[in-house]
């Protein structure tokens, strides 16, 4: 079932099918006219970042081209898509702040269109157009594939189009995808969530869990590897619940082993697992599969068993800490990160002290800490004892200070270690000034590394290459490896297929409107966009090649 506003007249029926397969560019422009440009702005998590890759892929298949870097910075595109999040209280503020700014840009740019998709669009529906009548298209989490058609319909009818499906129409991974990185990629193994956490609106917006078949997942990973990727991250709302739809409780561990065995793939990650479903077969698969990285991001949410019960989180603090103990027993160097909510309704000082106790015991390398947000539509929004803002803020500051100390201590323990870093296009704001390059170690720690002074230009590591260096300095949220400045022999570059693929992409040159990244905000990040599109639909391979 979907809600569409307004009704489509009969003379627009031809637009419903979207651009013709043999001439996709007709969907975005008239014959002979310049291609229309687009920009996708992402607010939210990794799932949203990956959804934005699908949106970009569909737009490019329909004949749009990505806005140039300068146009993207100025928000001067013909189509701007905002992919929204609804998890935090300020999600609506972020959306309407963006829309308010874009109202002037649209007045100054005849023909410009604004589309809003994602979780907040699924939640607020036509209310978005009511508050911001200059929005042209609203679409939800269940019908990403409708974006190009809705844009064309809105242009034809000269009025807003709102279409929200009540259940998943097309599995997102079957859609065209403009990969933001040639050397690393996201792969969704499931969508939706079967849990009933009282603070979370995601199940309402994303629906029940739907699992992809293993052969489809392996085929997509193989296709990414064939295009040059050396790292993949498996995505799911509760990624380790994979298999629930087809009745195999051991499916996720089996999938980890199968993905990790694909030839040419060097790094496998996954996010985010649920502690209640975290089983020992997954720990064994992590430890026994060399390409699965020594890194785990698992949300704690609270260290208080009483609060966990009120949250409907079906584990307790001892179970959580037990999982970490078993992971570290077989992967001693694993870096473990988490999510924590401060100020859940009814949280007492004693409850908060339990959270501090568990954080101290867990020794997280880092944590995403959040102040509780009262989200209409969630059971927790109606609970008594909503805490005063000042109390929540004070606890948040104490928790952040504790985690900063632990993160710094854990990173200091890395000084002197040799680490292998997968070089990124850029993850550091000061890299240009310091002449460092940046990437991620195997345990996903951020590393800024210096290059030897006498390194020839053709010997510099490229994004996608792997560099082994010695860590020389630590900070709470990153490591510095300047060993090459005093000992060039400590610096070792391994040029990879991924680096070759990045170089080929750069050598191909930017197309007229290429080169701008999909803008991101929130906890998800994306690498800068390719110079030309990397479009990947669902592969038809049934299993990885050996």
- Do 422 and 372 sit in the same domain of this protein? no
Q: Are 500 and 228 in contact (CB under 8 A)?
A: yes
Binding-site residues sit at 45, 85, 119, 193, 197, 200
Q: Are 51 and 524 in contact (CB under 8 A)?
A: no
Would residue 379 count as lying in a domain?
yes
- Do 465 and 494 sit in the same domain of this protein? yes
Least confident of 91-95, 122-126, 480-484, 487-491: 91-95
Q: Say what the pLDDT of residue 222 is.
A: 96
Query: Of 396, 413, 430, which one is at a domain's C-terminal end?
Result: 413
Each residue of 44-76: pLDDT tens digit? 777 778 888 889 999 999 999 999 989 999 999
Query: Of 96, 131, 163, which one is at a domain's C-terminal end?
Result: 163
* Strongest mean pLDDT among 6-10, 209-213, 496-500, 541-545: 496-500
Q: Are 185 and 229 in contact (CB under 8 A)?
A: yes
Query: Of 413, 429, 449, which one is at a domain's C-terminal end?
Result: 413
Whose CA is closest to 190, among 123, 136, 134, 235?
Answer: 235
- Do 122 and 159 sit in the same domain of this protein? yes
Would residue 26 count as lying in a domain?
no
Query: pLDDT-derived band of residue 392, with 50, 70 and 90 as boundaries?
Result: very high
Each residue of 112-129: pLDDT tens digit? 999 999 888 888 888 999
Each residue of 293-307: pLDDT tens digit? 999 999 999 999 999
Each residue of 186-238: pLDDT tens digit? 899 998 899 999 998 877 777 889 999 999 999 999 999 999 999 999 999 89
Task: Dump the DSSP string for 216-254.
Answer: HHHHHHHHHHHTT--EEEEE-TTGGGTTTTTT-TTHHHH
Instruction: List b or e across 476-487, with b for residues whose CB sees 16 or more CB atoms inside 10 angstroms.
Output: bebbbbbbbeee
Angle between helix 214-226 and 251-260 (nearest 10):
20
Whose CA is closest to 180, among 427, 421, 366?
Answer: 427
Would residue 512 count as lying in a domain?
no
Angle between helix 317-330 and 349-362 (nearest 10):
10
CB atoms within 10 A of CB 250: 13
What is the spatial distance between Cα 158 and Cα 418, in angstroms, rounded to a whole number? Answer: 60
Average pLDDT over residues 158-180: 83
Query: Which CATH number fits the domain that encloses residue 185?
Result: 3.80.30.20
Bond into 272 cis (ω within 30): yes
Query: Which CATH number fits the domain that encloses residue 53?
Result: 3.40.50.12160
Q: With 70 as the cut, is the pLDDT of residue 543 above it?
A: no
- Do 219 and 104 sit in the same domain of this protein? no
Q: Say what the pLDDT of residue 208 is.
A: 87
Average pLDDT over residues 404-411: 98
- Do 280 and 133 sit in the same domain of this protein? no
Would residue 531 count as lying in a domain?
no
Q: With 60 as the cut, is the pLDDT of residue 14 above it?
A: no
Q: Say what the pLDDT of residue 537 is.
A: 35
Average pLDDT over residues 498-521: 61
Average pLDDT over residues 129-148: 92
- Do 409 and 421 sit in the same domain of this protein? no
Would residue 523 count as lying in a domain?
no
Binding-site residues for [4Fe-4S] cluster sit at 45, 85, 119, 193, 197, 200
């Amino acid at each position: 079932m979907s809600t569409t506003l307004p009704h489509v007249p009969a003379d627009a029926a031809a637009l419903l099918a979207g651009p013709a397969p043999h001439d996709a560019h007709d969907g975005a422009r008239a014959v002979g006219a310049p291609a229309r440009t687009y920009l996708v702005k992402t607010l939210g998590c990794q799932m949203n970042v990956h959804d934005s890759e699908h949106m970009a892929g569909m737009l490019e298949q329909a004949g749009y081209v990505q806005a140039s870097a300068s146009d993207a910075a100025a928000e001067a595109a013909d189509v701007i898509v905002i992919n929204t999040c609804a998890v935090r209280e300020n999600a609506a503020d972020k959306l309407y702040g963006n829309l308010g700014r874009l109202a002037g840009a649209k007045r100054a740019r005849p023909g410009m269109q604004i589309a809003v998709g994602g979780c907040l669009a699924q939640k607020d529906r036509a209310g978005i157009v009511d508050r911001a009548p200059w929005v042209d298209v609203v679409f939800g989490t269940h019908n990403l594939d409708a974006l190009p058609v809705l844009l064309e319909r809105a242009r034809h009818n000269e009025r807003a189009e709102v279409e929200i499906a009540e259940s998943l129409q097309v599995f997102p991974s079957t859609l065209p995808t403009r990969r933001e990185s040639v050397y690393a990629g996201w792969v969704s193994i499931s969508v939706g969530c079967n849990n009933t956490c009282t603070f979370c609106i995601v199940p309402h917006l994303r629906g029940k869990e739907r699992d992809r078949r293993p052969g489809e997942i392996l085929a997509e990973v193989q296709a990414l590897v064939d295009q040059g990727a050396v790292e993949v991250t498996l995505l799911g709302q509760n990624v380790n619940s994979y298999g629930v739809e087809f009745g195999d409780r051991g499916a996720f561990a089996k999938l980890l082993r199968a993905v990790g065995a694909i030839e040419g793939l060097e790094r496998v990650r996954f996010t985010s697992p649920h502690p209640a479903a975290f089983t020992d077969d997954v720990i064994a698969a992590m430890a026994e599969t060399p390409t699965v990285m020594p890194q785990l991001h698992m949300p704690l949410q609270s260290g208080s068993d009483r609060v966990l019960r009120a949250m409907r989180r079906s584990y307790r603090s001892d179970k959580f800490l037990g999982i970490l103990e078993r992971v570290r027993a077989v992967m001693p160097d694993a870096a473990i990160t988490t999510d924590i909510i401060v100020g859940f309704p009814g949280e007492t000082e004693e409850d908060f002290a339990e959270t501090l106790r568990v954080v101290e015991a867990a020794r997280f390398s880092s944590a995403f800490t959040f102040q509780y947000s009262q989200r209409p539509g969630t059971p927790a929004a109606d609970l008594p004892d909503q805490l005063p803002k000042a109390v929540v803020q004070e606890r948040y500051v104490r928790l952040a200070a504790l985690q900063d100390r632990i993160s710094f201590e854990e990173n200091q323990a890395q000084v002197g270690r040799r680490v292998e870093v997968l070089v990124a296009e850029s993850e550091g704001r000061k890299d240009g000034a310091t002449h460092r390059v940046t990437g991620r170690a195997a345990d996903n720690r951020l590393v800024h590394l210096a290059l030897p002074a006498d390194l020839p230009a053709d010997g510099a590591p490229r994004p996608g290459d792997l560099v082994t260096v010695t860590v020389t300095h630590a900070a709470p949220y990153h490591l510095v490896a300047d060993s090459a400045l005093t000992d060039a022999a400590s610096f070792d570059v391994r040029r990879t297929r991924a680096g070759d693929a990045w170089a080929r992409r750069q050598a191909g040159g930017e197309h007229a409107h290429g080169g701008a990244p999909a803008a991101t905000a929130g906890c998800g990040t994306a690498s800068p966009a390719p110079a030309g599109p990397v479009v990947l639909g669902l592969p038809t391979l049934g299993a990885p090649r050996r």
